[in-house]
Chain A
């Protein structure tokens, strides 16, 4: 029995090690912090505020573009661009810049911008370059934390376009794969209230009290079970 369990344990460990290697490689380039924990999140830095949001620039070889990331220096970064090997290709070196800017266009109808707009560009030899269609860039923007679900939009020149957006959780960050670089911003539906614990929002205190009572009840039931088994 014990030997059988040890064999099962080793099978589980071996299979999970292989699965972990595969999942880490297949996951979108932006992934949550290692397994779990608590995110460290500084207050959001708004454009024109103090402290100011930061910019970031990095250069890469154009002929053999590596898997790379360019991210601003807040914790967590307020804007990031993640690129795969082959996302860009050029004869000379490629410079990727992430910069907070004023929004280039008014919000889409019925939407309100959350946080800053960022301009993300890649240039080579003075010319702008765009990601390859087979290896698009992944954009990660952090919301201000003042509202619920957000959607990432890109404006490559000609107006905001929504992107399929995923919530990364940590620090209220959202990511999307974008076929084009340009301006990026997070938008929420106008009038949708944030998750507030005060004012006219959802009675979160009641929810917490109910959940707390449920946990106490479950603990009491478990204790009675354990006591019954000991008898």
Chain B
């Protein structure tokens, strides 16, 4: 099934590999931009988060990712909700945790929630959308899940420290599994957005 190189174009998997490498570099630059723009508390900076999301979306659109709605969208949303349930239940069964905020901060949460949703959706579009698609073509599903999960973990280290790496890599594998199962970015995006919002509203 490999396509031959024609008219000077490299085989598709080589093309996809280069695309994945450029995307990964771009995502790393976007993370660095968030850290640089966020000052001493990049994890708490709304402007840095919005800049980060914009950079990820630009890279994804550049790579050819487009928003589409297919006939299986209900199933994808359902899979996303089930994925969010797994992420939240794993958290809920754990030992005492640091609450992000409380229900008493309703005004803050109303501003916080759309920004968090935007960042989570942009991360999914970039990682499980554009990058996952390129890696799937370049080396298959295991490579796509592994690379996007490690990238997902590493991109959060500057915000939450190395202690968060195992957690985010594990979450990345779950989101990658949802991407593979559903064939699109909607399921991991729904799971990611809902899980992040739960951190604020239930924390």
Chain A residues near B (Cβ < 8 Å): 5-6, 8-13, 15-17, 19-21, 23-25, 27-41, 67-69, 71, 75-77, 80, 82-84, 140, 145-148, 166-173, 194-195, 197, 204, 207-208, 211-212, 214-216, 218-223, 225-226, 228-230
A208 and B37 within 8 A (CB): yes
Q: Which residue of B lies closest to A146 (CB)?
A: B40
Q: Which residue of B lies closest to A213 (CB)?
A: B29
A27 and B167 within 8 A (CB): yes
Chain B residues near A (Cβ < 8 Å): 9, 12, 15, 18-19, 22-23, 25-26, 29-30, 32-33, 36-37, 39-46, 49, 55, 58-59, 61-64, 83, 86-88, 90-91, 93-102, 105, 108-109, 112, 115-116, 119-120, 123, 130, 141-142, 145, 156, 158-164, 166-168, 170-171, 173-174, 176-178, 180-181, 192, 195-200, 203
Q: Is the interface of B mostly helix, strand, loop or mixed?
A: helix
Please tell me which one of the listed residues A169, A170, A218 contacts residue B23 in the complex, with CB atoms under 8 A apart.
A218
23 A-B residue pairs with Cβ-Cβ distance under 8 Å, sorted by A, are: A6-B180, A8-B142, A8-B145, A16-B170, A20-B170, A24-B93, A25-B95, A32-B164, A35-B87, A36-B160, A36-B196, A40-B100, A75-B102, A83-B96, A146-B40, A168-B161, A194-B40, A195-B39, A216-B58, A218-B62, A222-B22, A229-B9, A229-B64
Please tell me which one of the listed residues B55, B174, B199 contacts residue A37 in the complex, with CB atoms under 8 A apart.
B199
With A40-B108, A166-B163, A208-B37 given, is the CB distance from A80 to B91 under 8 Å? no
Please tell me which one of the listed residues A12, A173, A223 contacts residue B173 in the complex, with CB atoms under 8 A apart.
A12
A168 and B64 within 8 A (CB): no
